[in-house]
Structure 1
Amino acid sequence: MKRGDLIAGRYRLDAESGSAATGEVWRATEQGSEAVVALTRVRLSQMPPDQRERVRGRLRGEVGIASLLDHPNIASVHGLVEHEGDPWVVTRFVGAPSLAELTSSGPIPPTRAAAIGAQVAGALAYAHSPGLGVLHGGVSPRTVLVGSGDQVFLTGFGIPTPHGSPTYLPPEVVNGMEGGPQADVFSLGATLYAAVEGRPPWGDGTPEQTRAAAMKGVVDPPRRAGALGPVLTRMLESRPRERPTAAEAAQLLGEVARGGGDAGGGGSRKRWLWVAAAAVVVLALVGVGLVAWPSSNPELVATGPGPTLGDPATADPCALLSTDHLKRFGKTILETDGGNFDRCDVYIENGADRAVARLQLSAASAAPPQGEVEQRDGLLLVRGAPTPAAPGTVAECVRTLRLTDGHDIRVVGQLLVGAGPEPCAVADVATDTALIVLASGSVPRRPAAFPARSIATVDACGLLDRAVVTRVPSLETAEADPGYAGWDCDWENATTGASIVVTYDRDNEIRPEAGRRVRIAGRDAAVQPDADAAGCDVTIAYGPYTRPNGDPAQELLVVKVDQPAPVPDPCVLGQEVATAAVQRLPKAP
């Protein structure tokens, strides 16, 4: 194409004004009305015929929906025309530089980036609203135009974004999942990160390096962002459900732009309210002498601001345990990848006796854990009473550390075999170790990112949709309840006892006690009906991985379905639900 060409007999090309992921972008004049518009070419003519028609049909639908958008920060979409086999998307022309052009000579101040970002987030919140439900899918520095007085226009609605370049895409999209509204929030966060840090969050390496980093989902913490940093950290969470909505992001960014306080706010309002209430309870208990205050050992007293967890998916539970400190009880063995991704175990052997110190990360529970409450410089420590051993059970003792950003660290001492060591002594030593580490202010990060396409990168709640959940009687109105870092999810009717629980596990293989071997959606699996004939546990092998010691192991998906009443074979429905979940998994490594 060249200047002066007439597109679809209607639009005269005046000047090429940039490029999009799909092709060139031109400033053009509509013949007759003399209106100035922007034309974005979608190069279908270079695609295979079957793909070409598929994209053409999707494009018509997306442009039609995008044309409904009417917002002061959105470059409006006028329609679609065809010329020489290629569609051209017609939008409002905005004569302003893109954010990519503004930052080509260097980063911009965090407050200015926040002000720009607040306008984009407001536009996304409008587009995502229930009455519209429009996703952008390609927010990047090139789609954010910044005009006079930093008036922002978001372009690119209705234009399909090929996923060949993952520079500003979230991990779930790069790993083959469908992107939802939270994907747009991530892309905006990535765009603002690049604006203040001088490079995209996945680095500025080769396309292959960028894709590998995006698939792993670990973002280096922002260093130049100042007060904007906590907001970017939330927007760039690897788990979609842990990111703010676009409306929440607009509010947080606006607070930074206006010079507000801690706009990052770790955790939900509900969690913060509980932490504040718990602090009041502690102070009240101090007044009547019912709080067991910590020892004066300075090594165990956290200093500085209250400790935080940070991004749940990259927090390292094993960094909070020490085999050396537990050696007083016997030989210690560190198990870094037993069970789900949120925990770490140290097994203790002393002759015939066997115990374990288990540390697990979680979102703060709605109700405070039971036990004696202590306060440790910005966190609460709750010492639970020991649970005596009963037939078929093990004695255990629980300590809970509640962090300032609404997360819990649960430390358990458990006697597995024999008469010792005493579980509460094990739990106390493990808790003291965690307190020493937390004195630095936050939970350390994992030494390495999860491998590409690990099940750890998949949101468990996203594996089942409403149609599948309602197959279980009395779950018609049940809502998904996501667990820590999205590594488990449940739907429950507390009245009838019906539920679905989806969780992840890791083991050498599917164990014999997991039940009868079957194949589910082409994968090895096992099914085990409950004794009450109302429930069924389904364990599916997702994919192999190598343990830190070099041994082969398996990542597992576990789906538990409980029906409200006994049925002849509860595993029939259990397998149906599990099959639906497996079909939404990305291809295993």
Structure 2
Amino acid sequence: MLTPKAGHEVAGRYLLREPVGRGGMGVVWQAWDETLKRTVAVKCARPDDEQAARRLKKEAQYAARLHHPNIVPVFDFVEETDAGSGEATCWIVMEYVPSRSLAQLFEAELLSPEDAGSVGCQIAAALAKSHALGVVHGDVTPENILVTEDGVARLTDFGIARALWSDVTQTHTVTTGVVRGKPKYLAPELAKGRPADEKADVFSLGASLFAAVEGHSPYGRVDHPMAYVARAIEGHLEPAERAGLLTDPLAALLEPDARRRPDAAEAYRLLTRAAPPPPEVQSQLADHNTLHLASLTLRLPRAVRRRRRPLGLAAGALAAAIAITAGIIGLTWGGDDKGREPDAKPSPTATVHAGAIGDVVTADPCKLLDAASLSRFGDTELDPDYGELDRCDVLVLSADGDELAGVDLNFSSEDQEFDGSVPVRRVGNVEVASLSRDGDDCERFISTSDGRGIFVVGTRREAAAPDPCALADAATDHAVTVLDQGPVPRRSGPWPATSLARLNACDLLDTAALKRVPGLRTRPSDHGFADWECDWSSPDGDRAFVQLSFTRDNQPADNGEPTAVGGTTSYVSPEEDGERSCAVYVPHRTYTNSVGDGTSELFRLTVRGERPTEKACETAEELSASALKNIAERLPEDK
């Protein structure tokens, strides 16, 4: 039988360092993830047979679906077979949480009702989330509740006990045969032989909190596990003496009749009314108003699958966002009256190191995403041709094919620097910044080894959809794994001869055209990635603004009201980017993308100034006609 020791490498990736816990379900090791360069917790479990191993894998899959600030996430599952004995060892890889268990805390010193209530609120919230997704924990005990030094509580080991059914969690009774679970925290219905369900989790939470404040099980102090089971069957519960403001909530959670016991959501409400987490804990769990980097680049937000909603970022908001420094120390946007050089392109013989974007025209964002790696969140689908030319998406779909959530990844010409409020970790040749969640969006920024960047944004479309930060983290982990092996992979072939990708957006509006906007400098103030976007602005950045960007959509008609631009049916959207602004979408070519979807390649031209919106739209159409004429002169006709 394989006996794990420090230095053992699991799956050629997880290097065991030291054991940090052990119990009936196995030994927990602190380990080092060689691929993603981070510390993880690895639980070693030895199932009795193949059936138990299959159950354990299935429970790990269920647990991997759970994404909540009070749940320890599962990252990976590895099964190894000893060549000599043929026995299997299963490894469950989880986030490493520096903490002590609730059991360790109250064994050292009983908790006050306020502290126990804070822990209880958080774990009830975790159970409400898991139960909403159909996942029963089955072993809510003080040993499986972790509490950090800052007071954040995390629930771990979802379903592991139920999968293994080891002798440690089995108590034989005369009347029911086998009872699975820790007798001190066992719900009465489980003692009577019924299967574990959501209400049993709620009872076990109540029993764990009771023990934290009283120092013993709600069944009292007895010498033999059978005595706990007998008391559970009888519904014999000890009265709370130290619970104080938790007395009534604990009585509700410990109701012997499961039908009258609250569910996890109600348990959360009861506990929160009695003893909510202190402000410092709530502040760690709440969303922070950190600058959302997505607002620093104009990008097309996704509405529902196959129904695209056009961009809605005001140029004024863009200028304001550039000035904001909450979480960001420096932004090198370049640009003055002399303009700036477009993205430098390495020579064909240049060495491109791991973690680099490399040649901006040929770098393929879709090679950094993998729909299968996100399948634990639901049905997934790669969408390679929506939005900016340097963007790729993975959609998370419902059974009916509607978009529930998604991840989009796109490139940035510029790196970003962050202050200490934004966690940044080094992974190989890149750095990953984890920004706080902003409503239904959550962003990660990868600083590449060649001084550029990659945005990864998780977005939730429905309330019951996966957590956007969990999506962003999973997609970022995959992208970083690819970047650890080399630069961003190249596109499978060159851009078509008729594609806008072969042009520089800054070349499509000349001085004469730009003078139609009063106060606008005629030199570009900023170039986008690969020169597929260009900005012009007034010296103060606020009086006037023009942007021309290349993008893609599968329903361009959704972007506004139809209008004729240079003989092309286009779409105009007044005040899409704020007051006195207007955006015009001009289709350029249509094609069928790599997954069989009809797609339009188009450019979007935005004008904002001091004149009325009607005049802004008139000017935007005039500039669009000029750009369309220049495109026709530079590219062959699309057949």
TM range (shorter): 0.3 to 0.5
**Structure whose CA Rg is larger:** 2
**TM, length-normalised to structure 1:** 0.46
